[in-house]
């Protein structure tokens, strides 16, 4: 067991809603429509709901395990021992580090393509790194506050889904269930890649006041995420035809491009700029989780680890160049995340359940 967390460092259980939701909505929401349509075509909105249900199941598994041990590092030590458990915990921390690095690079890529083609990755990266350090250095309560703001402030962007309905062709959605179960499940796998990040719950659980009350808030957060993804999926499906959607890289940005207002000509600039508030919780929570893991495993100072990890993220961002290379790396990390969340965590849950039953019987 780790050192007990002081009550002054804990956050209210209802904030788990924002912690879960904010880390699920990131760069992926700008491009997921092109991926999910590949197998199930316009039936893919059903796959979005199935993926959301799968997330609910994994969240339930996480809370069942966390009733006995305070975080994933204790669970690893319980099941695999100090050394093997430490190695697995280290790999989880590195996964969150890689996830944060790729998220930042994808956002910078969008800024370069849509707004400032010649902007330096290094200079822009330094600005973000300073901001991330300031937030993470403030502790978990500050990170949770950023997750709250990162959910509330960009909510106005949901209103932009009304503009494409002027050009909507709802017959695209018909007939419903026109694809096999296999196609729907393949599309579901593509969709689950957009839900990654909520597994940080396994690390920040000890920082929640009255964690038994947080369970429902975590599920509410997932439900809100599903609502946003389903709404965006349907809007994209009735706005684009299938051929367009399979070739457009960022369908959501394409939707923003048609928005016309008397006081702004290029709304996508506002949308991309506002998306910084969505990326900030993603980056700070995953980096905090990575550095918290290092503290739990190696007992090193978390603030010093933050500096090292931020430098690694900055160097990685400057070395990763070229759109194809960035997309391949993103796909690789997404697949790694899929097996971590939807294969490894269920395996861990089954092993942990068996261990507890054997322990009780003895």
pLDDT greater than 90 at residue 247: no
| CA–CA separation, 13 and 120 (whole Å) | 40
**Residue (of 334, 332, 270, 314) closest to 27 by Cα position:** 334
| CA–CA separation, 291 and 95 (whole Å) | 11
Mean pLDDT on 263-276: 86
Coil, strand, or helix at residue 194?
coil
CA distance readout (Å), 172 to 43, 133, 169, 325? 10, 46, 6, 33
pLDDT at site 6? 87
| CA–CA separation, 104 and 279 (whole Å) | 8
With pLDDT > 70 as the criterion, what percentage of the chain qualifies?
99
| CA–CA separation, 320 and 318 (whole Å) | 6
pTM metric for this prediction? 0.94
pLDDT greater than 70 at residue 254: yes
**Residue (of 246, 227, 217) closest to 148 by Cα position:** 217
Handedness of CA 100, 101, 105, 108 (dihedral sign): positive
Task: Give the HSE-up count for residue 118: Cα atoms under 13 Å, Cβ half-sphere.
Answer: 0
Question: Could you give phi then psi for residue 107, rounded to 5 degrees?
Answer: -65, -40
Please give the DSSP secondary-structure letter assigned to residue 3.
P
Surface-to-core class of residue 252, CB atoms within 10 Å of its CB (0-12 exposed, 13-18 middle, 19+ buried): buried
pLDDT greater than 80 at residue 1: no
159-202 pLDDT tens trace = 999 989 888 888 888 888 888 889 999 998 888 878 888 999 99
Domains, the chain, in order of start with CATH, read 7-349 (1.20.1740.10)
Q: What is the CA radius of gyration of the chain?
A: 21
12-45 pLDDT tens trace = 999 999 999 999 988 888 888 888 898 888 899 9
CA distance readout (Å), 118 to 109, 111, 113, 124, 273? 11, 10, 9, 11, 17
Residues, the chain: 362
């Amino acid at each position: 067991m780790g050192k007990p967390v002081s009550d002054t460092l804990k956050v209210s259980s209802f904030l788990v809603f924002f912690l879960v939701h904010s880390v699920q909505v990131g760069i992926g929401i700008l491009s997921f429509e092109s991926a999910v349509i590949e197998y199930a075509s316009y039936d893919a909105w059903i796959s979005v709901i199935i993926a959301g249900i799968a997330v609910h199941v994994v969240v339930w598994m996480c809370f069942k395990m966390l009733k006995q041990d305070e975080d994933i590092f204790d669970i690893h030590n319980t099941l695999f021992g100090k050394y093997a458990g430490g190695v697995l915990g280290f790999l989880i921390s590195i996964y969150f580090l890689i996830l944060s690095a790729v998220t930042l690079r994808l956002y910078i890529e969008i800024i370069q393509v849509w707004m400032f083609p010649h902007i330096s990755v290094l200079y822009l990266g330094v600005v973000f790194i300073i901001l991330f350090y300031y937030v993470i250095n403030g502790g978990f309560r500050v990170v949770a506050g950023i997750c709250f703001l990162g959910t509330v402030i960009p909510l106005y962007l949901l209103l932009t889904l009304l503009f494409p309905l002027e050009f909507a062709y709802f017959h695209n959605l018909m007939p419903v269930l026109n694809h096999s179960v296999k196609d729907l499940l393949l599309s579901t796998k593509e969709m689950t890649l957009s839900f990654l990040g909520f597994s940080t719950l396994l690390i920040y659980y000890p920082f929640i006041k009255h964690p038994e009350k947080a369970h429902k808030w975590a599920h509410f957060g997932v439900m809100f995420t599903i609502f946003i993804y389903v709404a965006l999926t349907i809007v994209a499906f009735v706005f684009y035809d299938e051929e367009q959607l399979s070739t457009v890289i960022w369908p959501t940005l394409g939707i923003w491009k048609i928005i016309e207002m008397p006081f702004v000509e290029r709304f996508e600039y506002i949308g991309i700029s506002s998306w910084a508030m969505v990326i900030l919780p993603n980056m700070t929570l995953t980096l905090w989780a990575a550095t918290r893991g290092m503290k739990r495993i190696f007992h090193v100072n978390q603030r010093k680890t933050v500096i090292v990890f931020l430098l690694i993220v900055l160097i990685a961002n400057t070395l990763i160049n070229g759109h194809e290379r960035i997309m391949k790396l993103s796909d690789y990390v997404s697949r790694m995340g899929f097996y971590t969340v939807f294969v490894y965590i269920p395996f861990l849950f089954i092993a942990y359940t068996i261990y507890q039953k054997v322990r009780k019987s003895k």
